[in-house]
Structure 1
């Protein structure tokens, strides 16, 4: 969280008009016992299910192997981008989590199921 605060402050110094949002999957904050500290720094919460689905879409449609937190960041960015006040504005997302550590989790179950059901001739 300290790193996020420093980065937010740095960006605000460069451009006071910039909006910087902290994003976290809701369940992650609760499970990690960080709800109170995160709630002071996180502006948008996304369900873990939505974060996972967005990470899957990034993988399937864009070829980006990102983790669940990055999926949450992308989902939140899409929500922010749909707000009328952001019409025509540039939305930037920083992906901090990589997907390789999630290969054996629910994030990539769909690939594992497909591989298990493959038939060989």
Structure 2
């Protein structure tokens, strides 16, 4: 039984706006498992946007994800806002977990808020 018939696809890569390696603007490390010829577009996301989205995903959706996942979600939302994507399904893969980021800048403000609640 086929539940979904894919008629077309558009593959988007996400990279830090500060680096521009995958898009080919700067030289740098590209993982061997990434075939950039398969990408239809590369969306650049700033570190600040990625961190903020990861925080939002944790607070609003209960998803403890890392900064790379925050960048992926921010890019997906940006794509979804384009007029040509109205009514289309956009899938995003979260490539990072948030556990290792708990003591870092990503969740520092939340950590401090919890500490203040415990003390006061």
Query: TM (normalized to structure 2)?
Result: 0.74
Task: Tell me how far 1:57 sits from its aligned partner.
Answer: 0.5
1:60 equivalent in structure 2: 59
1:110 aligns with 2:109: yes
- Matching of residues 65-84 of structure 1 within 5 Å: 65-84=64-83
- Matching of residues 27-106 of structure 1 within 5 Å: 27=18, 29=19, 35-37=26-28, 41=36, 43-106=42-105
- Quick one: distance in 2 between partners of 1:111 and 1:85? 37
Task: Tell me how far 1:119 sits from its aligned partner.
Answer: 4.8
Q: Which runs of 4+ in 1 moved over 2 A?
A: 34-38, 118-121
Task: Tell me how far 1:118 sits from its aligned partner.
Answer: 2.4
CA 1:112–1:84: 2 relative to 1, 3 Å: same
Secondary structure at 1:23's aligned position in 2?
A: strand
Task: Tell me how far 1:96 sits from its aligned partner.
Answer: 1.0
Judging by fraction of residues, say which structure has more helix. Answer: 1
Among candidates 15, 28, 34, match of residue 24 of structure 1: 15
CA RMSD of aligned residues (A): 2.5
1:11 equivalent in structure 2: none
Task: Tell me how far 1:116 sits from its aligned partner.
Answer: 2.8
- Quick one: distance in 2 between partners of 1:114 and 1:44? 33
CA 1:85–1:110: 2 relative to 1, 3 Å: same
2:3 equivalent in structure 1: none
Per-residue CA deviation, residues 87-118 of structure 1 (Å, 9 max, x unaligned), is: 00000000010000111111101112112322
Gaps of 5+ in 2: 1-5
Gaps of 5+ in 1: 1-14
